[in-house]
Chain A
Amino acid sequence: MNTTDFLSIANAICPERDVIVFEGRRWTYAQFNERVNRFAHTLSTLEVNKGDRIGMLSVNCNQYIESYFAAAMVGAIFVPLNFRAKADELKYMIANAEAKILCVGSRYLDMVDSLLPQLPTIKKCISIDSASNGKLLYEDLINSSSSDEFIREIGDEDITILMYTAGTTGRPKGVPLTHNGFASYVLDNVEPASPEIEERNLLTVPLYHVAGIQAMLAAVYGGRTVVLMRQFEVTEWMATAQRERATRAMLVPTMLKRIIDDPDFTNYDLTNLKVITYGAAPMPFEVIKKAIEVMPWVRFINAFGQTETASTIAALGPEDHVIKGTEEEQEKKLKRLTSSIGRPLPDVEVKIVCEEGSMLSPGEVGEIVVRGPRVMTGYWGDEEKTSQVISPDGWLRTGDMGWMDEEGYIYLAGRCDDMIIRGGENISPEEVEDVLHSHPKVEETAVIGVPDPDWGQQPRAIVALKKGEAATQEEIMEYCWSRLAGFKRPRSVIFVDSLPRNQMGKVLKKELREKYGQL
């Protein structure tokens, strides 16, 4: 199945249902399908052939999703671009992808204008929401194109998206994802559209991120209404969730924290929300604990995955967020809620391996590796990097350390790159961070390794305290003494106002290491 089938199936089952709600405007599946077909005809007229790349540089909007499906219909490869990227990074990604068409939101027109002379592969530039010199205007193109159904044969193994993922070193890497990669996920994990069931999915995660794309595709396949926000803003999120009676939402941990910590949280009726899926960054235990307490009607799902696996490969389901049962069961569930990413989804194979690649036993820490139709075909134009992460028999090294318990639950133990090695012993920064997060004065924290002449490395805690709080280094370190094995305790603490994070809320440890990673 290819991703355009998601739309055609849902359109056949519930054509009169809203598929997108965006800034007061609504389109039904039927209307949306027509717009997609029109834009597909546009692309064909612009001589977009199978395999050609179409870049999109914009915040979330209806045109973004329409363009994706139109690109998929003509067999082109959609290249969602991080709208927070600097000009130099954008130039690199667009040139690396050799994009033929570039669709641009009004906020980014000036930047694109400055870059275009250096981007010879771009044949046409389409402004998606406002007239701009030398550019085609999206709505004009839609209005002047045929509304007939656009038909072109698309292979399930054809690449549909080329997504750039930030690495910890060097340039972003292009990750090609196939139709089958996404189809495999939805067919095994998402209920298809139904005439009787109506759900409204509040989508605020950026569509340039695989989590946003996956959430959007799942919603369309499921015949849900996508209530789309340009970007996350906490008051607008709560107002939109209330107004549109959103039943589902996808959030990154920092978004969830801002919502439940907002002073106006209790002034909004969020009781229509049935499911909140979170992911894209580690969830502090204190945040999810509070979220469960203040929204007891919601079923929470922790979704773990990466761009290279077309998003979610493991999930900690709603039943694992309910701490009930015997004392032993409650303790097990609390442990899972604190540090497990759940169990692998049915369409992926996951195992934990040692450096040599042999599978480890339950409880042993190693690298998490994944195999299945979701795994990318290989980094774009980089066979060397591909061979470093994908084995000849198809196992993708995720770069995440972890271990599995007897029941198949996976627990994270940090990134391979972030592991601290002190006197030959591995220290998982996440484990130390979990302890620090539980300190009542700590707002956020990250742990990095710093060089040590005797031990090789020592753990250092970077701590942002809660507003109005004060603490000493000794106080923070002493807190860890009774809670962590001796070798894991931070040997130094640096206080900061806040941690550097990317758009998805992930702490930028590379920046922390550069700034605070020396003796």
Chain B
Amino acid sequence: MANEVGKRYLCKKCGAEFIVTRGGKGTLYCCGQPMELKEPGGEKQK
């Protein structure tokens, strides 16, 4: 899956989170498996 700027990816195995600051065509992997796209949201602080 292509990576777009600002998208965040989560590793379901170890909990690591990546944020894309420059997009690319590759797929992000962590712990030997593709990372999942994390949806923005949830009320957070100021």
Contacts and interface: CB of A to CB of B under 8 A. Distances in A.
- A joins B in a complex: yes
A387 interface: no
A61 B45 CA distance: 23
Interface in A238-253: 248, 250
Interface in A178-234: 185, 189-197, 201, 214-215, 218-219
B28 to A, nearest CB: 16
Nearest to B5: A13
Interface in B1-46: 4-6, 8, 19, 21-22, 40-46
A189 B5 contact: no
Contacts of A218: 45-46
A218 B41 CA distance: 16
A255 B41 CA distance: 29
B45 A192 contact: no
A60 to B, nearest CB: 16
Nearest to B43: A318
A194 B5 CA distance: 8
B25 to A, nearest CB: 18
Contacts of A8: 21
A345 B45 contact: yes
Contacts of A312: 45-46
A303 B44 CA distance: 12
B45 A277 contact: yes
B38 to A, nearest CB: 10
Contacts of B21: 8-9, 12-13
Category for how many chain A residues contact B: 20 to 34
A325 B45 CA distance: 24
Contacts of B6: 13-14, 192-196
B40 A194 contact: yes
A185 B44 CA distance: 11
Interface string A271-286: 0000101000000000
A193 B6 CA distance: 7
Contact of A250 (B4, B5, B22, B46): B46
Contacts of B45: 185, 189-190, 218, 277, 301, 303, 312, 315, 345
B16 to A, nearest CB: 12
Contacts of B5: 12-13, 195
A214 B42 CA distance: 20
Given A192-B8, A194-B6, A195-B5, A9 B19 contact: yes
Interface in A260-276: 275
A192 B21 CA distance: 11
Interface in A347-398: none
B20 to A, nearest CB: 8
B40 to A, nearest CB: 6
A301 B19 CA distance: 27
Contact of B43 (A13, A196, A250, A299): A299
Given A190-B44, A218-B46, A275-B46, 13 more contacts: A9-B21, A12-B22, A13-B5, A13-B6, A13-B21, A14-B6, A185-B45, A190-B46, A192-B19, A195-B6, A250-B46, A275-B43, A299-B43
25 contacts: A8-B21, A9-B21, A12-B21, A13-B19, A13-B21, A190-B46, A191-B41, A191-B42, A191-B44, A192-B6, A192-B8, A194-B40, A195-B4, A195-B6, A196-B40, A197-B40, A214-B46, A215-B46, A218-B45, A219-B46, A248-B46, A250-B46, A277-B45, A301-B45, A312-B45
